[in-house]
Every structure is written in structure tokens, then in C-alpha cells.
Amino acid sequence: MRRVNLVLQKRDTRHRLLALLMLAFSLPATAQQHFRGDKALEITRQFVAIGPRWCTSPGHLKAEAFIRAQFKGDKLEEDTFTANTPIGPVPMRNFIVKFPGKKDGVIVLTTHYETNYPLRNIGFVGANDGGSTTGMLIEIASEIRGQVSKNGVLDGYSVWLVFFDGEEAIEHWQGTDHTYGSRHLAAKWGSDGTLGRIKALLLADMLGDKDLDVQRETESTPWLSGLVLQAAKNTGHAKYFFAKEQAEEDDHLPFLQRGVPAVDVIDADYGPHTAEYNYDGWHHTAQDTMDKLSAKSLTIAGDVFLESIKLLNQK
């Protein structure tokens, strides 16, 4: 009887293992592959807790230190420069994190991290505007580190993350009083030949909005906008993308003007469009706070950015 019981126990164990394997393979692939929007939201929360981080402020120095701390073990470059602004020379700093790949070329993911200088006296913390996509790119770096092979490189193109300084105007959004960091880096990379290596540049802006509604930015490279939409379809998020379209003056333009394929992935439809908020919602108001953001929206955006990298590697 003891031998029979052992045989039955072994059969029962095999059956249970087989059932578990069948269950695992029956789960949708996307259920096991989602970007960790909850982690991105928590990083955003920590970053936004710094407070206002406009150029020349103590908060800006803390924001720089925060970004450095996220990439201690990575190849982090600091692109420092002095911008000529309406208030005089202002020191600024772009951060560039480089993950090398096997293929010859670079995919660049970007955001800006500072807050609006003209709003420095109202406690503007830019939770969505600069904060949410800074948190998203920092968490995307965690995903990319997990894809690095034993020899320290990615299987596809190199991926660079860029955190721009000085996207916001210092006085008024007109002329050249904006996009200081992206204009500086585009000119620098144009001079040293780096621009020729860039296969695509994807700009992330205001993507933490609970009511996510990403517009098709009409100045962006058409084929790259199409690739982003395909990535949204592949990940089951198409309904959040491109129902409307509009043009945006943003950090992608200095690269577009130099022939780099670039797309602005932005949700500029943020908050109620009423007279109380000057018909521009919570954008550039003290109401741009953490309670307006969601992990779900950052999951959607992160999924689409990571899928876009995959599609670019297949081209």
C-alpha cells in the first residue's frame, strides 16, 4: 500500500504542476508585461515633493541631485551651459543617460524636469508638467536595465534618456524665450555629428493626467507618429491616443528643424477649460498637483514608449 500511495502522490503532484503551467500559459501576455506605472507615480511623488524647481532656485539644485541619485550606476552625462535669458545669463543643465546597444544608432527618449519661472511665487510644483514624465523616464530606465545582456549592451539600438532643463519660458513664451535645453543640445549634437546617429526622438510631456487623452501633435514626423499609434494598438491602449490633433511648441522642434525624426507625445488637454482656469485647465496653475495624476495613465504611457522602442528596433 505504501508503494501505491507514493505513486498516487507523484501522479497528483505532476497533475498539479501541469495545471499551473497551463494556467500560466493561458494568461494574456500583456498581463505579464505592463510597465510599472505605480512605481513611476511614486518616483514622481518623491520628485514633486522637492517643491518648485525653477531655474536658479534651491529646488532646482535639489531636482538635479535627485536625478543624479537615480543613475549612480549608469553612464550619466551632464550637459551644462549658460542660457541668455530676459533676466540675464542663467546656468542650466541637461542630463543624458546612455544605455549602449548592439545596433548602430540611437533611440532618444526625452522630457523636461524644471518648473515654470514666471509662476515661481505661487507654489507651482508641476506634478504633471515636468514631474510625471520625469518619473516615467526614471522607471523606464529600470525596464531598460533589465534588458541589458551579460556583456552590458542592449540587443537593439542604444537608448538614451534626456532630461532637458529650461523648457519653460523665463518671462514670456515668445521668440527664443523657451526650450533652452533642447535648443542647446540639438545645436551641440549637430556640431559633433551625434544627430546623424539618432533614429528617432520621442518627447514625453504631461502624460500623468488621470483623464489621459494624447493628441496627435501635427508638427511631429508623420511616420513616427504612426509608429506610436501602432505601439498603442499593440498594447491595447489605442483609445487613449490621437482622437484630436494640434500643434505644440515643445522640445522636439529643435531636433525636427535639424532633420531628426521626432514626435511629441503630449496630453495638453489637462483639467477643466473654464474661465476660472483661463480656459487652459490646470496647465501652468497651482492646481497642477499629485492628486490629478494616476498610475494607470503612467502605465499606459510607459507601455507605449517601451513598445515604440521594440518597433523601432524592428525597422
25 against 279, higher pLDDT: 279
Q: Which amino acid is at 289?
A: T
> CB of 112 within 8 A of CB of 92?
no
The whole-model pTM stands at 0.89
Environment class of 153 (CB within 10 Å of its CB; exposed 0-12, middle 13-18, buried 19+): middle
For residue 284, the 8-state DSSP code is T
pLDDT at 279: 65
User: Which residue bears the cell 513611476?
Assistant: 40
Averaged pLDDT for residues 37-56: 98
∠ CA 191-193-198, nearest 5°, is: 120
Q: Which three cell numbers stand for residue 236?
A: 491595447
pLDDT at 227: 98
Ramachandran region of residue 105, left (φ > 0), alpha (ψ -120 to 50) or beta? Answer: left
Helices and strands of the chain, counted as H and E runs: 8, 8
Q: Where are the domains of the chain?
A: 1-32, 35-314
Q: Which fold has domain 35-314?
A: Aminopeptidase (3.40.630)
In 3D space, the residue among 291, 270, 252, 279 whose CA is nearest the CA of residue 127 turns out to be 291
- pLDDT tens profile 156-177: 999 999 999 999 999 998 899 9
Other Cβ atoms closer than 10 A to 46: 14
pLDDT at 43: 98
- Catalogue the E-assigned strands of the chain: 75-85, 88-99, 106-112, 158-164, 198-205, 214-217, 241-246, 262-266
6 pLDDT exceeds 70?
no
Task: Give the span between the Cα atoms of 46 and 97, in whole angstroms.
Answer: 20
Whole-angstrom CA distances from 135 to 131, 212, 299 are: 6, 16, 11
261 pLDDT exceeds 50?
yes
Compute the Cα dihedral for 224, 229, 235, 240 and give only its sign: positive
> CB of 83 within 8 A of CB of 180?
yes
- pLDDT tens profile 67-109: 999 999 999 999 999 999 999 999 999 999 999 999 999 999 9
Q: Which amino acid is at 290?
A: M
